[in-house]
């Protein structure tokens, strides 16, 4: 006997709406069992995970810092994925955005005194990310190269390029030969929202504005319609006169620009300088965020905050409850598993295929038996 997923003829509207909540309840139950088996109080652990990070103002600031790059990148990726372009290289576009944006304060430190520094850096960052995303886009449009591979491989190129820069030409002479670029100063630093309460910066505003604009683009404009049609059926798109190549470039450049903007915002805001590692994998985590948000920009905002919360909550659980970071990550995995499983089961049902039928379909299975 084996299991098979069969598409449901129609899916329930009610359960579509309820699905994230069901997933959350299942996660809480599974998590409680997990913590109880480890000899920790499930109540305390779940409180540490989901509630404690929300009880302090400074912690909310940290939540915004963590969620901002996730949302900004994921919103761009949603456009890519809806148009059936699989950009896996947002991490690299993030890094290149940071590098190109940082050229201004590092190569022309004097310009940091000008109020124009930050806007120019942000634009350069977005252009850097977009230019880097243009490489897999061009390869796909021109040679039909698999964009999953090219965009992913370019991540490592970008990371090593940054590594080389901060160890070599851009190394801070005052840093005792340690690998880091000089700190940004003056107007090159991304302003904080409410400096007295915490260190959240205006990066979170960029994320929210981008989410709203992309939502409008997808839901209300012809371009958005074009992207959806090409994504669902390239043939139908062609009959309608939509350009598949145009969609490739549009979606890659847009998502690259948003990832690049996230990159320069992160280094000029939360980190304050270029250093060998500037991202704990935001570009990859954002892929999860995009799908958790069901490729809807407004859903992505919620998903970004939820994923950010699990990082913060994981830390509190380590400190307050004393579970190891492996448990914390397993728990994070449980949450993602249940969310995706619930979403899948709305559109599909599980069908049991008896072994006789299986044997009929696969003759070799019979000879094995």
Instruction: Provide the b/e sequence for 172-207 (b: ≥16 CB within 10 Å).
Output: beeeeeebbbbebeebbbbebeeeeebebbbbbebb
Residue 326 sits in the site that holds other proteins (CB under 8 A): yes
Binding mask 53-72 for other proteins (x = CB under 8 A): ---x-xx--x--xx------
By the rule CB under 8 A, 316 interacts with other proteins: yes
Distance separating alpha carbons of residues 228 and 314, to the nearest angstrom: 37
Minimum distance from residue 32 beta carbon to other proteins (Å): 23
Residue span binding other proteins (CB under 8 A) among the ranges 131-139, 186-194, 217-225, 265-273: 265-273
Name which position in 40, 60, 134, 167 contacts other proteins (CB under 8 A): 167
Using a 10 angstrom Cβ sphere, with 0-12 exposed, 13-18 middle and 19 or more buried, the burial of residue 149 is middle
**Residues between 142 and 161 with contacts to other proteins, criterion CB under 8 A:** 160
Among 12, 277, 344, 355, which residue interacts with other proteins (rule: CB under 8 A)?
277
Which CB sits closer to other proteins, 5 or 54? 54
Under the binding rule (CB under 8 A), the answer on residue 318 touching other proteins is: yes
Instruction: CB nearer to other proteins: give 66 or 228.
Output: 66
Choice between 296 and 310, CB closer to other proteins: 310
Q: Which 189-208 positions form the footprint of other proteins (CB under 8 A)?
A: 199
Interface positions, 208-237, toward other proteins (CB under 8 A): none
Q: Given candidates 38, 275, 294, 337, which one binds other proteins under the rule CB under 8 A?
A: 275
Q: Which stretch binds other proteins (CB under 8 A): 121-129, 249-257, 297-305, 318-326?
A: 318-326
Number of residues that bind other proteins (CB under 8 A): 42
Footprint on this chain of other proteins (rule: CB under 8 A): 56, 58-59, 62, 65-66, 160, 163-164, 167-169, 171, 173, 176-179, 183, 199, 266, 270-273, 275-280, 311-312, 315-316, 318-320, 322, 324-326
């Amino acid at each position: 006997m084996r299991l098979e997923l069969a598409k449901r003829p129609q899916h329930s509207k009610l359960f579509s709406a309820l699905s994230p909540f069901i997933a959350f309840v299942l996660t809480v139950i599974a998590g409680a069992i997990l913590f109880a088996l480890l000899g920790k109080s499930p109540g305390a652990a779940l409180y540490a995970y989901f509630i404690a990070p929300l009880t302090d103002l400074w912690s909310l600031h940290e939540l915004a810092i963590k969620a901002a790059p996730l949302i900004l990148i994921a919103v761009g990726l949603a456009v890519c994925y809806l148009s059936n372009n699989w950009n896996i290289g947002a991490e690299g576009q993030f890094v290149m955005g940071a590098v190109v944006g940082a050229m201004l304060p590092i190569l022309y430190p004097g310009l940091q005194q000008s109020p124009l520094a930050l806007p120019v850096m942000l634009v350069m960052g977005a252009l850097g990310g977009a230019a880097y995303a243009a490489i897999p886009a061009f390869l796909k449009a021109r040679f039909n190269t698999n964009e999953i591979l090219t965009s992913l491989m370019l991540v490592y190129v970008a990371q090593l390029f940054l590594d080389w820069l901060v160890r070599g030409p851009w190394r801070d002479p005052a840093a005792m030969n340690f690998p880091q670029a000089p700190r940004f100063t003056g107007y090159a630093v991304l302003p904080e929202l409410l400096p007295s309460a915490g260190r959240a910066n205006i990066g979170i505003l960029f994320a929210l504005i981008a989410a709203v604009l992309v939502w409008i683009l997808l839901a209300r404009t012809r371009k958005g319609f074009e992207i959806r049609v090409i994504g669902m059926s390239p043939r139908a798109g062609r009959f309608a006169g939509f350009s598949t190549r145009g969609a490739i470039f549009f979606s890659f450049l847009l998502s690259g620009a948003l990832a690049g903007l996230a990159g320069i915002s992160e280094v000029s805001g939360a980190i304050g300088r270029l250093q060998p590692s500037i991202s704990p994998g935001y570009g990859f985590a954002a892929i999860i965020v995009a799908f958790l948000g069901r490729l809807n920009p407004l859903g992505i905002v919620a998903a970004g905050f939820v994923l950010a919360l699990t990082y913060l909550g994981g830390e509190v659980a380590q400190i307050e409850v004393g579970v190891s970071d492996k448990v914390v990550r397993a728990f994070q995995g449980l949450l993602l598993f249940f969310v995706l499983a619930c979403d899948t089961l709305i559109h599909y049902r599980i069908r049991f295929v008896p072994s006789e039928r299986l044997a009929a379909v696969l003759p070799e299975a019979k000879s094995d038996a």
